[in-house]
Structure 1
Amino acid sequence: MQQQHAAPSRIAQLGAAAGLAVAAGAGAVAYGAFIERHWFALREESLAILPSGSAPFTVLHLSDIHLSLGQHKKTDWLRGLAALAPDLVVNTGDNLSHPKAIAPLLDALGPLMDFPGVFVPGSNDYFAPTFKNPFTYFTGPSKVPAGDIKRRPVELDTEALHAGFGAGGWVNLTNRAQSIPLKGIRFDFSGVDDPHLNRERYAGWPRGAVGQDSAPHVKIAVAHAPYQRVLDHFTADGADLILAGHTHGGQVCLPGYGALVSNCDLPTWRAKGLNDWQAKGRTTPVNVSAGIGTSRTAPFRFACRPEAVILTLTAKP
């Protein structure tokens, strides 16, 4: 007589399913912490925004490096980006995750300072990151009032960081506007301090040359956090391109869906990549970098590789 085996109990089935779920979750966290956050990528984009007849012009967009101590894979990769020989480097802030990381950051970016560059700060260029309940990111846009350092108790040496960038030839665009001629093209830059800290003050576009608006030029706006009010302002004010970071691309994304949060009021589907923004009848391309690092308090990524972006600008048709 053939022996009949009893079917597993419902409790045993649920226990097995729970065990598999826990194992899958642990595997995903381990993957995000030990593999993907070190799996650096270079995203390539192309935009036809230069004056007619201009030769191609490359912009390397760096953001959210969040450098801490001992991150040799990251610093080696940053040094290697100099092989791209960009015509311009744009750094949109949040460079640090540790008070003692300024020297290794400047060393890693040293080869890139052989090329022209501009920069604006993020909140983690002023204050070291502190632990936050991750569920607060789902309650709405997070914003730290200007001057409120209770949530950012460790102040960073922002002056030393900016002095290092300046010594390397990069231009500080913190609430400033400046024109820079590059490869025969006049680039007009307008930058703001970090909107996430409510510090942005709009400087407009550079002025000074007679008939400058009729001469061929390109207007590039630079900010750390892409809040809608900032994108609206620069788009309505005639920017040809806006560069920002801050979102980390969501940092933890669902495959096939994308980012769950943007850490500002930007729609999550815009949390990374190149998209058009419209305001007051104008349209401006906006590149939001998914960033190179992570916060020290949340050192993992999932379905959202760390990235730098190389934008090839070409002449308008």
Structure 2
Amino acid sequence: MTSTQAAPSRLPAWGAAAGLAVAAGAGAVAYGAFIERHNFELREESLAILPAGAEPFTILHLSDIHFSPGQNKTAQWLRNLAALEPDLVVNTGDNLSHPEAIEPLLDALQPLMRFPGVFVPGSNDYFAPRLKNPLAYFNGPSTLRSGRRKQPVALNTSALHAGFGVGGWVDLTNRAQSIPLNGIRFDFSGVDDPHLNRERYAGWPRGAAGQDSAPHVKIAVAHAPYQRVLDHFTAAGAELILAGHTHGGQVCVPGYGALVSNCDLPTWRARGLHDWEFRGHVTPVNVSAGIGTSRTAPFRFACRPEAVMLTLTAKQTRH
């Protein structure tokens, strides 16, 4: 009489693999929430766009701070940035993540306000963030905007902007302004947040006759780098565009990069300095990965928070 033995069950092996996957996922979330989102870095870039013979000029680009009360590590890091002594600070919006964040944020930025600055707002300078389905980001920005069916919690934008203004920073919300700095005339043109379809183009500052023949630099500033905005400023002759909004993807795949940009910008442009081409014109665009995260999604993975120091140098003369 023969007997048969049942094949050994594979459930324990599958169970172990599933357990490992869950543990790895939990570990990645914990790393992103407690370590990487506080692992700040300073990205440094260089561009030769100043008039011939000009001395180097530094711009500290801040974006997407998404500040909440009690973020002591972020506050201290922001204060320490003043040691860089930039010639100009550019803030491209989304400063807030909580209705009570304005006063502590202004306190953290106070050391940087002894330097000249300009700013534009992002959507989270107008409205407090709300919990969203993370998968909605893969359906495009229009899906996220259409999801705002409930009345959002309004933030005290005017108080934030007044605080910046008291510190000497210039509001570029749908405005153009010329500012002489270090012997160079900088012409700025800024827009309100394109993510909310609030951008209105003010053109470039106009002054004395023949001003375009005098040494100057044209810099455009926006929160969200939608292609229509980059196209407009590139065609208008901007020599540099500064933006944020993307968080660099916030959750990236090592060796691949961002999965989403939260706008129509290609994901490989979600962080860094790239040339934007439109109708025969080329303009460098710096997209900051940002400093913070929404308090409803407080983690980063393979995408460290950053400020950016751009060193502008004189254009090379052709012989």
TM-score normalized with structure 1 length: 0.96
Q: Does 1:24 align with 2:7?
A: no
Name the structure 2 match of 1:267.
266
Q: After superposition, what is the alpha-carbon deviation per residue over 1:8-52, rounded to whole angstroms, capped at 9, x for unaligned?
A: 632221111111100000000000000000101100000000000
Q: Does 1:239 align with 2:209?
A: no
Unaligned runs of 5+ in 2: 1-5
Q: After superposition, what is the alpha-carbon deviation per residue over 1:221-243, rounded to whole angstroms, capped at 9, x for unaligned?
A: 00000000000000000000000
1:8 to 1:174, Cα distance in 2 relative to 1, 3 A: farther
1:133 to 1:143, Cα distance in 2 relative to 1, 3 A: closer
1:298 to 1:101, Cα distance in 2 relative to 1, 3 A: same
Q: Does 1:184 align with 2:183?
A: yes
Task: Give the SS at the match of 2:211.
Answer: coil
Q: Which amino acid aligns with 1:51?
A: P
Q: Distance in 2 between matches of 1:9 and 1:277?
A: 57
Q: Percent identity?
A: 82
Name the structure 2 match of 1:3.
none
Q: Distance in 2 between matches of 1:230 and 1:255?
A: 29
Q: CA deviation at 1:141?
A: 2.6
Contact 2:137 2:144 in 1 (8 A): no
Q: CA deviation at 1:144?
A: 6.8
Q: CA deviation at 1:152?
A: 5.4
Contact 1:144 1:197 in 2 (8 A): no
Name the structure 1 match of 2:284.
285
Q: Which amino acid aligns with 1:221?
A: A
Q: Distance in 2 between matches of 1:167 and 1:149?
A: 33
Aligned length: 311
> Would you identify which runs of 4 or more consecutive aligned residues in structure 1 move more than 6 Å?
143-146
Contact 1:143 1:197 in 2 (8 A): no
Q: Which amino acid aligns with 1:75?
A: A
Unaligned runs of 5+ in 1: 1-5
Name the structure 2 match of 1:171.
170
TM-score normalized with structure 2 length: 0.95
Q: Distance in 2 between matches of 1:94 and 1:151?
A: 20
Name the structure 2 match of 1:110.
110
Name the structure 1 match of 2:13.
13
Contact 1:88 1:117 in 2 (8 A): yes
Q: Which amino acid aligns with 1:71?
A: Q
1:20 to 1:169, Cα distance in 2 relative to 1, 3 A: same
Q: CA deviation at 1:153?
A: 1.7
Contact 1:222 1:243 in 2 (8 A): yes
RMSD (Å) for aligned C-alpha atoms:
1.6
Contact 1:49 1:218 in 2 (8 A): yes
Q: Does 1:257 align with 2:256?
A: yes
1:230 to 1:152, Cα distance in 2 relative to 1, 3 A: farther
Q: Distance in 1 between matches of 2:273 and 2:150?
A: 32
